[in-house]
Amino acid sequence: MKRIVKFIISLLTSAGMTFSSFIVTANVPAKAENESKLIALTFDDGPNTTTTNDVLDVLDKYNAKASFFLIGDNIDPESAVSVKRAYDMGMEIDNHSKTHSNMSKMSAEQVKDEISYVDEKVMEITGEHTKFFRPPFIDVSQSLYDAVDLPFICGIDCQDYMQNVTAQERADYILNGAKDGVIVLLHDAAGNHQTVEALELAMPKLIEQGYEFVTLTELFKRQGETPKHNILYSNVAKYPEGYETEQLLSIEASDRISLNKGILEKLGDTYAVEIDYVSSTGYPPVIALQKWSGTPQVWHTIQPFYFNGDKAVFLADDIISALKQLKVEYNELDGIGVTAYSGEITFSNAKLLVKKDSTEIIKGDVNADGSFNIADVVSMQNWLLGRKNMKSFDHKAADMLSDDILDAFDLSLMRSMLIKQL
């Protein structure tokens, strides 16, 4: 035993390290199953003294946070009490314009008056400015983007503004649209009791599925994204990791990309499609599934899993889920491609990505050259000593103990493994 201890100490000492080096750690990517799934509930058309408070009661029951987009003309001394209650509960108070009019046709001065009115009212009540803006009727234009100095928010449509949509149907829209980073568009307008019922139906199930309810500010922060202008956000996802480029995709036209159905089907759930784009409206591109021969005829669009105003990534799971919902196979489609959802869009780069096979990781191959040798030991030593400006460093291969921490113990095992090969 003493010989083993002396051997380990000699390995560490020869590497120019002491036991104090054990505190050096790396941010090895956490396991996906341990990460929280985030969802942002948002409510339009308040405040009032009835439904707004009913919504707050449900949120309080489930210890949930949400964001409220206020109409300025609805703020009066009585409804301001509801706003203060929401703020004191940790809710975020945001901007939905003064009059809820179509603002894309307004002058810049009129738009700014609409926004500043709400902002000043909220400042009087909470002591904070509004942080996000939802355009009435989700009507956007470049002039509106230019006039409003706030990030624009949309969200998945739950049709809860329609009286004939039942509470269960509204809950189903929430549940079916739920995914990590999604923004849910709801309404706390006076008398909208079916949305309150829908929350009671949906929220316990979302909690069972591992979702955490957060404000928009927290959503962006925890997803590692900074909100940008000229984007209309409906979800804020983390950029998907664990993929590598399979091939570059041909851009047939600057505003359209056709995808090979056979290749996608063969890849199963292992692929993703990454697109670099410029959009005139802030809407990201969509993937369109098209079938116009026979029955059923199909025109179905799929939103990207991730987008940041410059780049969009579509996941195979979302495409496969849409096909199952439509009861259509890849080979039945007449076309599948990337296109604009609204307005003009230009594509500059497109890639087909595939998941990296974790079984192909070679333990100790930290420089990712396909083999383990003394160069990897040197690279690991340099990394631990703070010389991190290396072109390639595979954290998973370096994590010899599989404990999500890189330290001198991992280096010791690497050196021991190298000695055994000599």
Distance of CA 333 to the CA centre of its chain: 29
Q: What are the backbone angles phi and psi of residue 6, rounded to the nearest 5°?
A: -60, -35
Residue 379 in this model has a pLDDT that exceeds 90? no
Beta-strand ranges (E) seen in 208-332 are: 211-213, 232-233, 243-248, 257-258, 271-279, 286-291, 298-302, 306-307, 311-315
- Crossing angle for the helix pair 167-177 and 193-208, nearest 10 degrees? 40
pLDDT confidence of 358, banded at 50, 70, 90?
Answer: very low
Domains in the chain, please, with CATH?
Answer: 36-233 (3.20.20.370), 243-355 (2.60.120.1070), 359-422 (1.10.1330.10)
SS3 annotation, 169-195: HHHHHHHHHCCCCEEEEEECCCCCHHH
pLDDT confidence of 392, banded at 50, 70, 90?
Answer: low
Beta-strand ranges (E) seen in 281-383 are: 286-291, 298-302, 306-307, 311-315, 335-339, 345-355
Residue 22 in this model has a pLDDT that exceeds 50? no
CB-based contact 366:380 (threshold 8 Å)? yes
Residue holding tokens 């940041």? 308
Give 182-226 pLDDT, tens digit per residue: 999 999 999 999 999 999 999 999 999 999 999 999 999 999 999
Terminal Cα-to-Cα distance of the chain (whole angstroms): 23
Q: Record the tokens describing residue 157, joined without a space.
A: 């449509």
**Taking Cα atoms as reference points, which of 123, 147, 315 lies closest to residue 229?**
147
CB-based contact 97:119 (threshold 8 Å)? no
Q: What is the CA radius of gyration of the chain?
A: 26
pLDDT confidence of 282, banded at 50, 70, 90?
Answer: confident
Which residues does 66 contact at the CB level (< 8 Å), separation at least 6? 40, 41, 42, 43, 55, 59, 91, 92, 213, 215
Q: Tell me which long-range contacts 359-366 makes (C-beta under 8 A, separation of at least 24).
A: 361/394, 361/396, 361/397, 362/397, 363/397, 363/400, 363/417, 364/397, 364/398, 364/400, 364/414, 364/417, 364/418, 365/394, 365/397, 366/393, 366/394, 366/397, 366/398
CA distance 300 to 289: 5
pLDDT confidence of 29, banded at 50, 70, 90?
Answer: very low
3-state class of 365 per DSSP? coil
Average pLDDT of span 265-289: 92
For the chain, the residue count is 422
Instruction: Report strand pairing: 232-233 vs 152-153.
Output: parallel
Give 393-405 pLDDT, tens digit per residue: 777 788 888 777 8
Residue holding tokens 């008056």? 113
pLDDT confidence of 268, banded at 50, 70, 90?
Answer: very high
